[in-house]
Copies of this chain bind each other. A is one copy, B any other.
Amino acid sequence: MKRVAVALAFFVALIGLWELAVRSGRWSAVLLPSPLYVAEYLWAALLDGTLLESAWVTLKRLLIGYVAGVLIGLPLGLLTSMSQTLEDTVGAMALGLQTLPSVCWVPLALVWFGQTESAMLFVVIMGTVWSVIIATDYGARSIPPIYARAARTMGSEGMHKWTRVILPASLPFLVTGMKQGWAFAWRSLMAAEIYVTILTGFGLGHLLHYGRELNAMDQVIGVMIVIVLIGLLADRLLFSPWERFLHSRWGTNVKAS
């Protein structure tokens, strides 16, 4: 309780300082809009539906693309972990493409799919899939061999071994990789939305870009706040449960809370 209060006080003080800085008149209103204006913008955009609409558009793209990326990456990663040759070929390709910021796919995606949802999904998938492949591969390779041997003596083989031993045993790595994939997907989607217009719907990135077009920094900051909130929420909903499961089961890194 006390800690929450301290954190709250800190953020309130931060906003207070910000307001004071604006009032001091040292910065023009375009450079630094008052937090009140930001709140006003957020309120208005909430009421006229823009905020919810565009958040929904963005989230839909992100989730569909991400799930597709994971579903493609997971089996590929397991596959590459099984063979040295696949590791040297597909694995090397994944390693290379993972370093490519996936916003770089936008121009190709646009000529391949047009200014449509598919282009956005492609970009999100390119952000997710390589991280998932690499993490799954690495995870499956890092499993203490003793698990596999114990499972074998008990008669676990084939599919059973993969789904009941290899996959759960590599969970700690998987979650890390899936988190990274999420972070990259989120980043690439934002960049893509800011960069290009999509005929089928405007997302948060577009809203942010429009804030810039109007020189409306209150809108820019407002949308940034919404993006942060969605990011935190996603983390809380998508990954925290897994991480808590991992930490309680593996007994690792239990942070004093």
Residues of A within 8 A of B (CB): 3, 6-7, 10-11, 14, 30-31, 84-85, 88-89, 92-93, 95-97, 99-108, 110-112, 141-142, 180, 183-184, 186-188, 190-191, 194-195, 208-209, 211-212, 215, 217, 220-221, 223-224, 227-228, 231-232, 234-235, 253, 255
Contact A101 B7 (CB under 8 A): no
Contact B187 A232 (CB under 8 A): no
Contact A227 B101 (CB under 8 A): yes
Complex contacts, A183 vs chain B, CB 8 Å:
99, 184
What CA separation (Å) do A20 and B82 show in the bound complex?
30
Q: A99-B227, A104-B190, A195-B195 are in contact. List 19 more A-B contacts (CB 8 A).
A: A6-B85, A7-B88, A31-B111, A31-B112, A96-B228, A96-B232, A99-B228, A99-B231, A99-B235, A100-B231, A101-B186, A103-B103, A104-B194, A106-B212, A107-B208, A108-B220, A188-B191, A191-B191, A191-B194
Report the nearest B residue to A103, measured CB to CB.
B191
Contact A103 B190 (CB under 8 A): yes
Shortest distance between the CB of A234 and any CB in chain B (Å): 8
Contact A92 B7 (CB under 8 A): yes
